[in-house]
Structure 1
């Protein structure tokens, strides 16, 4: 299964009680790495500087097996996020970044060739889907792959960088015609919509065309909902090192899991809306296990398929 991820790459500068460390990061970057570690052929369209931090990012992509799309490296500084980890392992961020990605080709023959070989899944989200000029590139790629690829979206809201909730909601409405699966955290929902229930949050995205809405609730677990079914699952019980990249590990596992159930790409996408409660429960448990592994180690560090298989025989196939 081929996957195509569009969005920011950056270096997480982690400030914790143990000191300061630097880790490859960025939500789309970490999702791409997570997909590759789960054995999926993955391409990443992003922006990385030709500098020391860029070298760190490219090394991580190469090590993980992610293919960096041509045009993703330029001579501007690599973006950074300074993350401060509190005593509970939760992170707060300050960003220095540029969101700017290559546009799809204008030549009709090249566009037709790209569409002919469309990936099964396209993932977008986070700062890259909301900051200009990168946001326009994301929209154009979504339009190019419309009806050919299953599109997943993780808002990963940072209003101090993205702007007002009103602005972000308007941008989400512009993207929703192209989005099939939304994975959002309860913190994302609170920032955008206020204190509403997970079920109400899921309904918000389902009413706008999503076939599946996944609402994560940290230690309270996760809700998966379609227009027909809804299941709630507990979070994995593990010792938390930090939560950096946990949501991205979950996103990667969700996409991989949907691929395991053969509902990604073209006409197969429609079947996501018909997933049964047992399938949703299996999908959610798989994704929660991936997040559970990620939070037991520092930085954006998603699990491999072998690590997930070691968690339970349910994930062995």
Structure 2
């Protein structure tokens, strides 16, 4: 069974990393193409899943950088919008553990200007899963348009959402106010422990999972960095350990985990509906594979997810291959 097509909707962000210079009054930046949804689309395509990306790509220097990376990774951009607005820029500072803190330059940029007409032209008939999240779901004026698009897709495709909370740009209250509605649309909800703390401060992960199940999400996966991941399928839970690696930085690790999870589910025939045939053993295998993809992403600089051949060198065939 071959991996099915997954469509990803969301932003591209130019990730600028500070670099040392010899002059005390200068700041050098190294710019890499990023953005959570874009990273997920790239990771899916590199893993071998037919991945289509719905994006509004600026014609500026960053937009050209985004397009080159997406096309080189094999991402389908046939429905990408050529946007007149500028690209979004994020400046990252890394701590001693490789964790990144971002400051955003995102006012009136291309990513948030979706219109109903732009998304009405998208044909989802060949798509088994529609994935979105991050700022595209909360930045106006496009956020409401994206939510409406998800609502029209639920009858024909699996829906996956990663909130990827960015409190410097959008207050967590905005995410909290919309999260129950997202769960009513989503079959898969993937978020980090940082997201959980921002959305439901002090809430045990198991309790959070139960509340999101009650709102409609069937599969909830909460990643905990080096502590692994908690997956909950309709209240049945499993903890999957992280894969040990030499961490360069963690940029894009969560996006790669999401891609690994969806790739594995798709390759095993679980996407395209409401996850009705999915078991906890299936979820465990998918999360183990996703953890390996995330670990390989952490082992290199920036949001640079691995290619399928790199994963196959490390992961047992029963995890990478689809069942007959």
Question: Who is 2:113 aligned against?
Answer: 100
Q: Contact 2:297 / 2:303 at 8 angstroms: preserved in 1?
A: yes
Aligned length: 307
Q: Contact 1:16 / 1:85 at 8 angstroms: preserved in 2?
A: no
The structure richer in helix per residue is 1
- Most deviating of 67-76 and 148-157: 67-76
Structure 1 runs of 4+ off > 6 angstroms? none
What is the CA distance between 1:9 and its match in structure 2?
0.6
- Most deviating of 154-163 and 181-190: 154-163
Q: Contact 1:72 / 1:102 at 8 angstroms: preserved in 2?
A: no
Q: Contact 2:209 / 2:235 at 8 angstroms: preserved in 1?
A: no
The one of 173, 184, 195 equivalent to 2:191 is: 184
Question: Who is 1:247 aligned against?
Answer: 254
Matched, 1:205 2:209: no
Counterparts of 1:1-317 in structure 2, within 5 Å, are 1-15=4-18, 20-70=29-79, 72-97=81-106, 98=109, 99-104=112-117, 114=123, 117-163=125-171, 165-266=172-273, 269-271=274-276, 275-313=278-316, 314-317=318-321
Q: Contact 2:99 / 2:249 at 8 angstroms: preserved in 1?
A: yes
Distance, in Å, in 1 between the alignment partners of 2:59 and 2:119 is 26
When residues 105 and 28 of structure 1 are mapped into structure 2, their CA distance, relative to the original with a 3 A threshold, is closer
Q: Contact 1:104 / 1:137 at 8 angstroms: preserved in 2?
A: no
Q: Secondary structure at the match of 1:311?
A: coil
- What is the root-mean-square deviation of aligned Cα atoms in Å? 2.0
TM-score under structure 1 length normalisation: 0.91
Q: Secondary structure at the match of 1:161?
A: coil
- Most deviating of 206-215 and 46-55: 46-55
- Most deviating of 133-142 and 218-227: 133-142
Q: Secondary structure at the match of 1:242?
A: coil
Question: Who is 2:24 aligned against?
Answer: none
- Most deviating of 15-24 and 171-180: 15-24
1:235-261 alpha-carbon deviations (Å, 9 max, x no partner)? 111111111000000011111111122
- Most deviating of 235-244 and 198-207: 198-207
TM-score under structure 2 length normalisation: 0.89
Distance, in Å, in 2 between the alignment partners of 1:307 and 1:14 is 26
Distance, in Å, in 2 between the alignment partners of 1:66 and 1:253 is 16
- Structure 2 gaps of 5+ residues are 22-27
Distance, in Å, in 2 between the alignment partners of 1:91 and 1:4 is 27
